[in-house]
A and B are shown apart, each in its own frame.
Chain A
């Protein structure tokens, strides 16, 4: 029992269930299967992004530029579509993913080759990527009527009763799960984050591993870029502004340690779902959407406090007071 209580994923599932029950108590239609599917669909993009962020955080880095990367890739996808309406969707999708990957590689290369602290790199590229959107568009919007119908309908298309957007997130979760748990790269993520020096001695190239983590987060941000723009049918400079914090919040809630080396794919997914449920529930239980920001703030702080308690190392106490710091 005690072991079950310590299992973070189960704890999160419990928390989400409690949350859903509380919401259903105030507003019963919330737990209708169609509505729950809608909530999942609405959270899909956050799930995809949280998985990318997780890979980066596992290696003891952070990617603050994901939302800006998403916005830039999404904008380029929208511009491609507006300029060449005949271009097939897979081509647009691939170019958004490729651009996202390149932007991620830039982050990764700066971290790998120049040893610049990740937070500085991504803080810089965050403003640069967003600025580039402005340079590309001169601040103009690309609106729904400039996008082709195929472009807009792709994530909405039903496949076996579930929209493509949800399917894509399911596929991403499965793929990342395989990478993290079944490949040397996945193990390297944990090794690098857990103890970079030890990782070097076991023959893992720390910089290269971090580079791949950034490639992954960039790729997923590129994919999300197209999905975001086609789902909301609008592209402008400020789309997903501030979303990088939601992504990090999802990871922190999911039990991914910001100090690296600790975390799991189900954790990230559940963390994202937790935020998604809150976000979708606020309007139906008559809480002002303006409260959402403060609530996510509280959730982040609570989650990190809970994480820290679970992670506290029980090392030998040499100096009693050293523990208190």
Chain B
């Protein structure tokens, strides 16, 4: 969140340098917080600093973070997708069904990804095709997608995934680096480049800041938004493969409530919920922070729901504090 107050009445003699802006940025604050949590965790529990433990800790956030990257783009463009957790459930159910039909690992991956993509197409068509508000549409598809898994599964569960399928959620690429963590790093780089270094990324910011202006400057707004919803669907499919492989079973309640955690992660990463600003490094740091907090609390035997209180407080205070800070500074300036 680079903030320069450039109004006609208030033009500074010179803009702040790159370094100063970097120091004052939201990302550097997140970095400091992440370091503090890291130090706090290693003091609180003697088991935290073990490399294998840290590797385990990454499983807390990698799947959510994959979706969070795509969600960051969606939110920057001024929309939201609340159906991601339900897409995970539906993709996982489809994969479980495919196992019953005797499909093998490569086919399962294809099934998972294509179901995710198909869900993304549904969202995208409803939102950009019919011009409906994304928040209501994705609340609807959130019910619909998970509802379909409930219809297929009822109170049953799919298990019996082939042994080779477990590699996506449980395998390691090299030493302590799991497949999921590697995927997280690769995706972070890809999304960072796409958002910050390509025309497509600039279009996403432009749409989020002023959709009409973006349209008039020749950006195909509908097409860009459609692509973004496809991407979130695809990422949810990918996350579904990892999660299903890690758990080894599918229930219709899989990944329940994840949409909130993903949105929290994105907002914590400094992406404005109103659209138009935010960065991928911010989201990466937010993912690390949430993962470490969850893992640290876990080591201290704090129950999951108490962590969710913490996440809720974090979400609100992360947005409230800068507002209060700006207000206090303005008051001091007067």
Contacts and interface: CB of A to CB of B under 8 A. Distances in A.
Interface string A231-272: 000000100000001001100100000110000000000000
A240 B137 CA distance: 22
Interface string B134-176: 0111011111111110110111000000000000000000000
Nearest to A246: B143
B143 A300 contact: yes
B200 to A, nearest CB: 17
A325 B316 contact: no
Number of chain B interface residues as a range: 35 or more
A126 interface: yes
A194 interface: no
Interface stretch (A33-41, A205-213, A285-293): A285-293
A108 to B, nearest CB: 14
Contacts of A291: 147, 150-151
Interface residues of A, number: 48
Interface stretch (A22-30, A131-139, A152-160, A195-203): A131-139
Interface stretch (A97-105, A117-125, A171-179): A117-125
Interface stretch (A13-21, A45-53, A301-309): A301-309
Contacts of A119: 80, 135, 273
A170 interface: no
A324 interface: yes
Contacts of A301: 126, 137, 140-141, 144
A319 interface: yes
B6 interface: no
B312 A297 contact: no
B33 interface: no
B20 interface: no
Nearest to B212: A322
A91 interface: no
B152 to A, nearest CB: 9
Interface string B59-88: 000000000000000000000100000000
A120 B82 CA distance: 13
B42 to A, nearest CB: 26
B31 to A, nearest CB: 22
Task: From B128, B137, B143, B319, name the one whose CB has the most chain A CB atoms within 10 angstroms.
Answer: B143
A127 B313 CA distance: 9
B316 A116 contact: yes
Interface in A269-298: 288, 290-298
Contacts, number: 147
B144 A298 contact: yes
Given A123-B315, A325-B215, A325-B221, A300 B136 contact: yes
Nearest to B319: A116
A164 interface: no
Contacts of B128: 325
Contacts of A62: 135
B312 A127 contact: yes
B274 interface: yes
B264 interface: yes
Given A305-B126, A325-B211, A124 B313 contact: yes
Interface string B233-262: 000000000000000000010000000100
Contacts of B143: 245, 249, 293-294, 296-297, 300
14 contacts: A114-B320, A124-B313, A128-B312, A131-B308, A288-B154, A290-B147, A290-B151, A293-B147, A297-B145, A301-B137, A301-B144, A308-B131, A319-B215, A324-B222
Interface of A: 62, 110, 114-117, 119-121, 123-128, 130-132, 134-135, 139, 237, 245, 248-249, 252, 258-259, 288, 290-298, 300-301, 304-305, 308, 319, 321-322, 324-325
Given A249-B143, A291-B150, 8 more contacts: A123-B312, A124-B312, A128-B316, A139-B305, A252-B136, A294-B148, A300-B140, A301-B137
